[in-house]
Structure 1
Amino acid sequence: MHSGQWRLLNGEFLEALPAAAANPRGNATARALSQAQWLIRRKSDGRFLALREGDTVRELQRGALTPSHRVDLAALAEADQATASPRELSGLIDRLHALGLDEADYAERTGLDLVAEPTRLSFAGWDRYARPLWLDDGASRAWRRMRDAARADGIALDAISGYRSHDYQLGIFRRKLARGQTVEQILSVNAAPGFSEHHGGRAMDIGTPGEPPAEESFEATPAFAWLREQANAFGFVMSYPHDNPHGIVYEPWHWRWTAGDR
């Protein structure tokens, strides 16, 4: 599969990504990846569980795939053949309640909406850390066009991050709760799982070489000035300006592709 056709398949418990997009650790892993099309990983912790080539699935460790995982594998195969669609939110809501979070109350307090994960995302290039960047199909195309237009104007834009799963955000909460923080303390810094724009694959954090990631100092760079003038032409808007109605701190680095909302 050519990198221009790479996609991330997103299930309830598992993700499938092109084996060629993985960063192997050791020669044995590299050889195994070279013999498969898909790498299957667990969403909750990113652990690699299996390799898939066609209908053949090979566990990387015996017993790595549970019965629920195998049901999810079938859903991933269907997602590969169907048009991308939003995933159900019911499982997320159950997990929010387990953390002591009421989604309706949080939505009312913040004005934020629950954001469903897509069943499939497109490869949008590599981020600053040489990781695959996954975005909604339209957002991926728009990002590439915007990055190339900036380069033509002598401006270097790089991606800090794109799509993040509900599990990723839930993991942040669990780790902080385990360290003794309260839910309210965590919410003062992190959006509740399910309420981050990154979940939908249309939001990304943007930086420029030499500038630290996700810092307010980004607003003083030529890259930010270019985005203020040009990003809207590519469908991107800054989600959290000063004094935004959601009470989220000013984030000059966070931009969302809005053309798909129209």
Structure 2
Amino acid sequence: MRNAPHLLLNTPDIEIWPGGLLRARSNHDARLLAQASHVLRRKCDGRYLAAQLPQGLMALITRLPDAPGIEHALSVLDAHLSQPARVPPPQGELPLHQLQDRLDQLGLDSDDYAAQTGLWLIAEPAHLVLAGFDRYRRPLWLTRPAARGWQRMRAAAAGSGIAMDAISGYRSHDYQLGIFERKLARGLSVPEILNVNAAPGFSEHHSGNALDIGAPDEPPAEESFEHTEAFAWLQQNAGDYGFHMSYPRDNPHGIVYEPWHWCWVGVD
């Protein structure tokens, strides 16, 4: 079997991770993950479903065939494994119909929200590439051009004596839905949550092109980032690498000022 590339293969219900990047949750997991070329991970709760081992697929849950989306995920994995390592996976985005169902459950009308905020529904990419690791040593997943732009930009900043790190990159719709569900469980209302969090499906992080950037010894995702040398450097140079700050003060979307949030939009 070929060596697993550093690609995250994405499906509506399941992420297919390359081996060696997921944290083991038990000694049994550690032994399996050490051998696995790929691991299937459920998006809604992070549960490991199956591992692709040299001898074949091993289920990590009972009744694996009944897991939602497993048939599609296995077909994606099989297609990937059948391709030569040098052949990139197909481009594309995932469908949005499952997200619409979840928004309905939250009582959110996506058309009304889009009209009020000027934001739009963002589909998840069908695959992402490993762009390094974030501040917390978690894999940083971005689209290929955003990953290339981030790596070049960070290296250029370092060459000027400016240190910066990633706080987070790609986030799934399920991740954003989880934020809402946890805050609802604490007693907040949907309108209160929307004051500080974009509705699920409307965050730029879903695209794989956005990342939150921090500076050493600075707390993550705080307005104080604007006083750092890293922020000053980004204001002057980020555009050269295709990045722009999405939510300046008094932005038309009604989102709080986020000097740490930058999105790759391409170089003119």
Distance 1:143 1:26 in 2: 34
Counterparts in 2 of 1:219 and 1:167: CA distance versus 1, 3 Å: same
8 Å CA contact 1:85–1:118 kept in 2: the answer is yes
* Aligned counterpart, 2:86: none
Q: Does 1:90 align with 2:80?
A: no
The one-character-per-residue Cα deviations of 1:2-27 (angstroms, maximum 9, x if unpaired) are 78x40111111110111211122444
The one-character-per-residue Cα deviations of 1:72-124 (angstroms, maximum 9, x if unpaired) are 32343267463221111111111111110000000000000111000100000
Report SS of the residue matched to 1:76. helix
Matches within 5 A, 1:79-158: 80=80, 82-158=89-165
Aligned residue pair count: 260
* Aligned counterpart, 2:232: 225
8 Å CA contact 1:13–1:72 kept in 2: the answer is no
8 Å CA contact 1:162–1:198 kept in 2: the answer is yes
Report SS of the residue matched to 1:191. coil
State the shift of 1:49 in Å: 1.6
Distance 2:175 2:237 in 1: 31
* Aligned counterpart, 1:252: 259
TM-score by length of 1: 0.93
Q: Which amino acid aligns with 1:250?
A: Y
The one-character-per-residue Cα deviations of 1:39-74 (angstroms, maximum 9, x if unpaired) are 111100111121014793211232245253322323
More deviation in 208-217 or 89-98? 89-98
Q: Which amino acid aligns with 1:186?
A: I
Distance 1:172 1:66 in 2: 27
Report SS of the residue matched to 2:20. helix
8 Å CA contact 1:21–1:132 kept in 2: the answer is yes
TM-score by length of 2: 0.91
Distance 2:226 2:75 in 1: 42
The one-character-per-residue Cα deviations of 1:158-212 (angstroms, maximum 9, x if unpaired) are 0000000000011111222222222111111211000000000000000011110
Distance 2:47 2:70 in 1: 16
Report SS of the residue matched to 1:22. coil
Any gaps of 5 or more consecutive residues in structure 2? 84-88
8 Å CA contact 2:122–2:204 kept in 1: the answer is yes
More deviation in 174-183 or 15-24? 174-183
* Aligned counterpart, 2:242: 235
Q: Which amino acid aligns with 2:176?
A: Q
Counterparts in 2 of 1:105 and 1:78: CA distance versus 1, 3 Å: farther
Distance 2:241 2:188 in 1: 40
Distance 1:55 1:161 in 2: 35
Distance 2:140 2:227 in 1: 25
RMSD, matched Cα? 1.9
Any gaps of 5 or more consecutive residues in structure 1? none
More deviation in 129-138 or 52-61? 52-61
Matches within 5 A, 1:43-62: 43-53=43-53, 56-62=56-62
Distance 1:195 1:112 in 2: 6
8 Å CA contact 2:16–2:77 kept in 1: the answer is no
Matches within 5 A, 1:174-189: 174-189=181-196
8 Å CA contact 2:65–2:71 kept in 1: the answer is no
8 Å CA contact 1:208–1:223 kept in 2: the answer is yes
State the shift of 1:146 in Å: 0.5
8 Å CA contact 1:59–1:65 kept in 2: the answer is no
8 Å CA contact 1:161–1:206 kept in 2: the answer is yes
Counterparts in 2 of 1:55 and 1:89: CA distance versus 1, 3 Å: farther
Counterparts in 2 of 1:209 and 1:2: CA distance versus 1, 3 Å: farther
